[in-house]
Structures are given as structure tokens and as C-alpha cells.
Structure 1
């Protein structure tokens, strides 16, 4: 295993341990020698991982005070690693509701911009994603991946670098939402016309209509997630491949 692979693995293991509360907030983390022994890596690898965790807002370190886990409101929730670690550790109701609020605030504005700015190439990409969703509904297959591709395509079509980066933070929510929809009877089939309405409004360069269409889609997804949270059913775990639809 290469040095870079050791470093990545160590960072992921430490990050997941923090996010899953194996290391309690405010509590000191194990000493450097103990971490080296636990993960079977050098001090250099551990120190680099600690630097990354400090940069992501998960821990603070200093002379004489040691290394401590920070409260989660100080974590960088726009960092894709932090989102991934939380997804692997388990999506909590609080985490999902925060992401739903973020999606409701961001995606309608992004779709308005997409309706104003989308290029022919952007529309071709979103059309291809919609075609993949439709094919999965009609003939079976991976619906979730194409649904993700559809929404990421909309964010990219806004032609705003910050919104494009935000899609990484939204990824966990979007995938969870789409997986929940796939287990509901006729969920994907019922959502297809709503996706088509968004796409048609973007093609027509009608920002107001596009915004209304995406809000309808988002609010439906919120209801699906709240229903699952209320039922206390287990949420999807994102470390596994997305479920596949059966042929209609």
C-alpha cells in the first residue's frame, strides 16, 4: 500500500470515528503513538491526517492542551469528506432535515439560473439523465444514479462555480431522497412527470416556471423523507450500491 493510500485510509478512519462519536465531542483524542499503533502507520501519516481534520473543523490541537474533538456546529459541512463520513456513519434525522432546508434554499435559485443560462450541452446532459431515469422505470435498472445526474446537471447548468461545488454537499441528501422514492410504490414513475416539467421549463428558458416545478419536486421529496423518519424505518446506507428498479 502506497504512502498516499495509507494517508487516505487513516484520514477516513479517523474522520468516521469522530463523526460516529467514537471520540466524544470535547474529549481528548488518543495520543499520536496510540494512533500509529492502532492504524499501523507512521507518525508522519498520523500528523498529516490530523492537519486535514483541523482544516475541516473537526478537531483542534495545540501544545500542552492536546487534540480535542470540536462541536459539530464547527465542522465544515460543505466539505465532501465530512458529508461522506456522516453518510457512512448513518444519516441522522437532524442531518437530513438540515440538508432538506439547504436544498429548499439553494436548488430553486440554481434552477432559475439554469433556465436563464443553460447551454445546449447542459440541456443535452440533463436530457440524457432523464432518459436514463425513464428507461429504469420502464425496463428496470439503476434509477438513482440517473436521478443524481439529473440534479447535478441542473446545478452545473446554473454556470456558477459555487453552486456546482454545493452539489457535493447536497449529494447525500439527494441520494437518500431518491432511494426512499424508489421503495415507495410507483414512486419513480410518479416523479418522472415532475422531472420532465423542470427540464421543459429549463429548455424553454422560463425561470419562474422552472422554479415552481423544482419546488414541487423538492417538497414531494421532503414529504417522503418525513414519512420515513416518522415510521422509524431504517434509512438507506450510502456505502452500498443504489437499489435497482424492477421492470414495469
Structure 2
């Protein structure tokens, strides 16, 4: 997706913060300096600052200026923040936090899905699974269908909070799936694990569904630990922000 000047400015500053160019507690340059260095108007800079405040990256005030917030204040459910972290470099702590989150959220959600899934929900899950299998057998985009499968599981729980969380978790889960699929035969090996989850949901067996999703998550954790141990380059989620243009 091509971003406008505002989006590119937010990306530029967000990446600078996540990469440590602007350290925690440090002040961002004054507005005129940012305008000149980025080649954008004051309006663009002000709107970008508002966006970064909303994402928890910075705080502003008449006496403190514009300062970078500690990482625990950042909105880690924001896809932009996840993308910036990816480009700055995924860390072992970040990836392990992600796996902890999956272990907390997904088993409970899948139990609900096994109890509440409608025929429409099951059809959606079958479609996503078929896309995954087609990608394994014939080649293609496995990760997009994998994400659709997990979003479908959360929606099938028929809980409004989990349905909203599925949107926020999308970028986080993609991080895990990118790494898992980067291993040789990673997608092929995970396919039957997904089938086991789906079969349990179709059969409306919450205990079996929970066990199956935990097996899948543990497999993803093993993949991540293997990649971290091998020191291979971690995948990036997005291309860098495009070159800024004057406004």
C-alpha cells in the first residue's frame, strides 16, 4: 500500500524511535528542524506527532517538550509499531513475549470456537485451510491463508473482545508465521497440526481443540528458538517507508 506524506513521516519517525536513533527519554528535534530535515510542512509534522502520541511512542508537554516514552508504554498491538520493530530488528525477548501471548489467548479462544462455531465459521476455516494446503502442494502464499485460519478461529469464538483482538494480533502472528515458514518444510510440517485443530473444532470437542492448538503453538516456539539459535537473519514484515516528498 502506497502511503501519503503523513504516513511516510509517521513511518520515518517511528522507525527512528524503534531503532534507537531517538533514545528513551530523549527529545525529538524542534518542529522547524523536523520540517527542514524531512522536507514536509509544519502541519504534516504536527499530525505525525499526534499519531506517535496515540501509539504511545512519545509524550508532549509545554515543559517537557516531545520525548520518547519507555518501550512498555508503546502500543505493541499496533501493526505500525510491530512493523517498525521488525525493521529495527526483532529481538529474542520480543519473540518470546509473542509466544507467551499466543499461549494465553489462543487456547481459550479455540475452546470457545469448538463450542460456538457456526456452519459459516467452519466453512471459512475450511477455505483458509484449503488455501494453506494448496500453497504447500503447489507453491504460493502460505502465510496469508495461515493468518486467515487463525483470525477465523478467534472470530468463531463469538466474543466481541476476541474478534477485535484478532485485528490487533494479525501483525504479531505474522511475525511468528514468517519465522516458522522460513524453516525447511516448516509449512508442510505445520499443516497436519492445523488440520488437527480444525477437526476438533468441527467435532465441537473443546479439550481436543485446546490440546491441538497448544501443540501447534509449541511447534512454532521450537521453530523460533531454532532460528534464534542458528543466528540466521530474521524476516522483515514490511518494506521500509518510501522516500519522503515535500508537502
TM value normalised by structure 2: 0.90
Matched, 1:44 2:39: no
Structure 1 residue matching 2:125: 3-state secondary structure = helix
Looking at structure 2, the residues matched to 239 and 113 of structure 1 have their Cα atoms a distance apart, in angstroms, of 33
Aligned length in residues:
237
How far did residue 180 of structure 1 move? 2.9
Partner of 1:86: 85
Following superposition, the deviation at residue 88 of structure 1 comes to 2.9
Listed as ranges, the matches of 1:91-110 within 5 Å are 91-110=90-109
Give unpaired runs (5+ residues) of structure 1: 241-248
Per the alignment, residue 243 of structure 2 pairs with none
Contact 1:132 1:143 in 2 (8 A): yes
Are 1:14 and 2:30 matched, yes or no?
A: no
Structure 2 CA distance for aligned equivalents of residues 79 and 163 of structure 1:
16
1:195 correspondence with 2:194: yes
Q: Which range moves more in the overlay, 171-180 or 39-48?
A: 171-180
Q: CA deviation at 1:236?
A: 0.9
Q: Distance in 2 between matches of 1:165 and 1:17?
A: 29
Instruction: Report 1:158-237 matches (<5 A).
Output: 158-237=157-236
Aligned partners of 1:103 and 1:170 also within 8 Å: no
96-105 or 151-160, which deviates more: 151-160
> In the TM superposition, what whole-angstrom CA distance separates every residue of 1:129-172 from its partner, at most 9, and x where no partner exists?
11011111111222121111111111111122322232344334
Whether the aligned pair in 2 keeps the contact of 1:80 and 1:168 (CA below 8 Å) is no
Superposed CA RMSD: 1.7
Which residue is 2:118 aligned to?
Answer: 119
Cα distance in structure 2, aligned partners of 1:180 and 1:8: 27
Residues 198 and 19 (structure 1), Cα distance of their counterparts in 2 relative to 1, 3 Å cut = same
- Which structure exhibits the higher relative contact order, with contacts defined as CA atoms closer than 8 Å and separated by 6 or more residues? 2
